[in-house]
Structures are given as structure tokens and as C-alpha cells.
């Protein structure tokens, strides 16, 4: 039984990502959407936390939200998979529960 965690707030403004990573289990998936996509870029203050989390859970970022914010998908940190809306739907279907961190 796995959970898809979606985080939509910038980690530079809110603590939703930190709370999510503290509660997510090893078999869970974390999807960064909307302003949370900023955390997925390599070299930022959250890169180490996400790299640690990626050792036990699957990490994703929504590509259209990166592009909408003028961010280059090629600069996403290793270990984080860029997906499109179809991939989002697939993740929702693959997981038994979805938890949105606001």
C-alpha cells in the first residue's frame, strides 16, 4: 500500500515539503507541482534533503509546471524524474492513496 504525496508550495516560503519528507514512507512517491517545482533544481538548499529522500522513495516533478515558471527541465537534480500530465495520472492510479501537502 503506497501513497502519492503531492507538494505544491515553494519550500522557500512554506514547510510543506519538509513535512512531507518527514512523513512519507519508503515505498511512497513524492510529486512536486506548481511552485514546489523549484525544489527540484540541482544546487539549491533542498537538494541534499531530496537526494536523501530519493534513496528510499520515488521523486517526481511536473514538467509543465517547470516550463510555466521558466525553469529548465535539464537542470532538475539527478534522482528526480520529470513527468507530464499523463505521468501524473499514472502515478495517481498506481498508488492506493494520494496526500496533498498544502
Inter-residue contact 59 to 79 (CB < 8 Å): yes
Chain segment 2-57, per-residue pLDDT in tens: 999 999 999 999 999 999 999 999 999 999 999 999 999 999 999 899 999 999 99
What end-to-end distance do the CA atoms of the chain give, in Å? 23
Whole-structure pTM value? 0.96
Give the pLDDT band of residue 59 (cuts 50, 70, 90).
very high
Helix count (H) and strand count (E) of the chain?
4, 5
Q: What is the pLDDT of residue 1?
A: 83
In this prediction, residue 19 carries a pLDDT of: 97
Non-local (6+) Cβ contacts of 11 within 8 A are: 17, 18, 36, 38, 39, 45, 46
Domains and CATH numbers, the chain: 3-100 (3.40.1260.10)
Amino acid at each position: 500500500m503506497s501513497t502519492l504525496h503531492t507538494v505544491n508550495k515553494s519550500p522557500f516560503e512554506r514547510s510543506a515539503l519538509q513535512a512531507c519528507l518527514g512523513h512519507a514512507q519508503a515505498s511512497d512517491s513524492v510529486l512536486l507541482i506548481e511552485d514546489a517545482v523549484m525544489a527540484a533544481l540541482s544546487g539549491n538548499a533542498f537538494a541534499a534533503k531530496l537526494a536523501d529522500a530519493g534513496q528510499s522513495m520515488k521523486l517526481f516533478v511536473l514538467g509543465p509546471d517547470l516550463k510555466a515558471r521558466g525553469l529548465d527541465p535539464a537542470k532538475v537534480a539527478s534522482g528526480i524524474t520529470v513527468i507530464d500530465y499523463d505521468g501524473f495520472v499514472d502515478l495517481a492510479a498506481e498508488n492506493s492513496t494520494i496526500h496533498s501537502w498544502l
